[in-house]
Structure formats: structure tokens, C-alpha cells
Chain A
Amino acid sequence: MREIAKDIIEKAADGDMAAFEEIYRTFSSSVYTIALGVTRNREDAEEATQDVFVRAFRNLKGFRFGSSFGTWIYRITMNVSLNTCRRRARRGAGSVSYDDFKNVLPAAPDTAGKGAEREDAAGRVAELLKNISPEHRSCIVLREIEGLDYKEMADVLAIPINTVRSRLKRAREALMAYCRKEGIGHAL
């Protein structure tokens, strides 16, 4: 998990925009990736990223350094992303197809070949992730994409470690069952 110096957080809490921009540069990629993994929609992920940093700025004075700043901002990200999923489910627009996902991915800044490769990988993963609940998806995103350990995941999701383990297991079982059913197999 990424971290940032305490004095930068304190400066940002006092309204220093340059310091807050440094926080944004440090965490925006992780925040956006988590939001994209959980919501599976670029537009929602961008909105969630904006919402996360606005909330973070407004609540920086309340951050007491009791937990790591990374945990705190990841937790806001998870709450905002899960709320976005719930809102979308209520609107009845819960499913995002592979093509939708490809269309909403950002334009590749690097070579065309690498961009297409990355788009394919993201599309495949997005297609897979639609088969599990947002709560299970959030575990998979934190573990597999962000690389958090179980303790960090438990802190971010505010659940016991054993719940993290059981959610990870069920999510993996569901994803493997889907792969078998669709004949995706080992190649994925």
C-alpha cells in the first residue's frame, strides 16, 4: 500500500493545495484502479475518484493518524465505489458488457499494440468480475490488483480477517466456476 509523509498531510489539512495535489498524485492511480475494478465502468470510476478526493480534502482535519493514510483513503474509495454500484443496481443498470467496458477505457497513451493488449486484459478481467457481488469484487480487487495483504484488506473493508479469507475463497470459487462453464480454461 502506498504511503505519504505526515507533514504533507498536515499541510494539506491546513488548505495547502500544492500538498493536496501531491497526495492526489500519490494515490490517484490506486483510487482510480480500485474504483474501476469495483464499478467496472470508466465514467463511474472517474466520478468516484473525484468524490473520494473531495471527501478526503474536506475530512483531512479529522484524520488522526490512528491508521495509515493509505488505509483511510482506500476505505473512502471502497465506500464510494460500493455506493456507486448500489445506485447503479437500483437504477437497474448493473451489468456492463465487455464491449461497454472496452469503450469506456481511457485512450492508450503508449503504442497501439500495448494499448490494445492492455484493453484486452482489462476487458477480460471486467467480464470476469461481473460474475461476483460488489463485496466479493472489492476483495479480489484489493488482493489481486492492488496487492494488499489480508490485514490491510481487513482494515480497509472494516471486516475481520476471517471474513476477508472466506470472501476471497468464495470469490475465487465463483470465478473459477464461471471460467469452467464458459470454457475459458487456463488461458483466460
Chain B
Amino acid sequence: MRCEMMKDIILIDYIDGRLKGDALRDVESHLSSCAACRKLAEEAMALSASLKSFPKEAPAPGVWRAIERELIAFPAKTQFADNVLERLRSFIPHPRPAFVMATVTAIIIFTLIAVRFIPVTGNIPYEMEEYDIFSASSVNTIGEDGGFGTELEDAFL
């Protein structure tokens, strides 16, 4: 377990020289007593030294010339495009996020209130409509006295 933990420390912090004080002494003490970890540290050091030998070089002179050529051609064609885009952008309003959020919240609250408190009118259930038609057609509508036989009629007629 200790070697497994040490392996992580050796392959990262120890190799990169990030250990100081007690942490460094702890690793060095372990390395002096553990042959496997010592071998790992030596291999990692050798690898690191080898990678550091990779030469740092400047690119060939042709690279700068190619960049210069491209950049000299660049302003004429793209700065014009940038200016056009910039002008187009200025016509498009850019609302602040807080304002957008407040507006959306207000719309949601208003919708919820409307749904909750405004009564629904004008829609008669299908069954009721059918019932009324049925009742109207099935009842013997006109009586002998020319009325409909209702209490209201009795009161007036």
C-alpha cells in the first residue's frame, strides 16, 4: 500500500521537484529502504532527462515570410468584412440578461394568474347540449290552450 502511494508521488511530485521539507524527506527515506521504488524513481528520472533533451529550435525562415504574406493580404479582405459585421451588430439590440430574466418571469407569473382567475366561458358541455335538444323535441310542446304548460305561463296567462 505504501509503495502504491509512493508510486504516485514519485511519478508526479518527486520527479518534478515539487516536494519540500518533511514530504521530501519521507520519500527519500522510503527510497533508501525500498529497492523497487528506487528503481522506479531512477527510471522516471532517466525518462525525464531524455525528454528534456528534445531540441528547442526556431522554425525555418520561410515560416515568417509565409505569415507576413498572409497578414499583408488579410486586412484588405477581412477588415472590410469585420466593419460590415460590426455595423450589422450595432442594429441588433443586446438586452441585458437580467432584463431578459425579469421579462420572462413576469410573463410566466401573468400567465399563471390568468389561468387561475379568469373564468372559462362559452363552452357548453356536449352532453348538456344533447340533453336540451332531446328534451325540447320530446316534450309535447304546445298544449291545448296554446301554452307550454309551465308554472310561469300559469302566472301570466
Contacts and interface: CB of A to CB of B under 8 A. Distances in A.
Nearest to B49: A188
Contacts of B44: 172, 176
Interface string B38-58: 001011101111111111111
Interface in A18-59: 20-21, 24, 28-33, 36-37, 45-46, 49-50, 53-54, 57-58
Given A21-B64, A28-B64, A46-B60, A121 B55 contact: yes
B50 A50 contact: no
At the interface, is chain B mostly helix, strand, loop or mixed?
Answer: helix
A77 to B, nearest CB: 12
Interface string B49-76: 1111111111110111011101100110
Given A17-B71, A53-B67, A169-B12, A33 B57 contact: yes
A176 B43 contact: yes
B51 A176 contact: no
Contacts of A180: 43
A169 B59 contact: no
A145 B63 contact: no
A36 B54 CA distance: 10
B28 interface: no
B11 A169 contact: yes
A29 B63 CA distance: 11
Interface string A132-169: 00000000100111000010000000000000010011
Nearest to A35: B59
Given A15-B75, A17-B71, A188-B50, A122 B59 contact: no
Interface residues of A, number: 46
Contact of A175 (B42, B47, B55, B67): B47
Contacts of A145: 51-52, 54, 56
Q: How large is the interface on B (under 10, 10 to 19, 20 to 34, 35 or more residues)?
A: 35 or more
A128 interface: yes
Contacts of A24: 64, 67
Nearest to A180: B43
Nearest to A145: B54
A122 B12 CA distance: 24
Contacts of A20: 71
B121 interface: no
A2 B16 CA distance: 20
Given A29-B56, A144-B52, A173-B11, A54 B63 contact: no
A57 B62 CA distance: 18
Contact of B74 (A32, A49, A57, A106): A57
B27 interface: no
B47 A188 contact: yes
Interface string B90-112: 00000000000000000000000
A186 interface: yes
Closest 4 CB pairs between A and B?
Answer: A144-B51, A188-B50, A32-B59, A121-B53
Given A145-B51, A169-B8, 8 more contacts: A24-B64, A29-B58, A30-B56, A33-B56, A45-B59, A57-B74, A125-B54, A168-B11
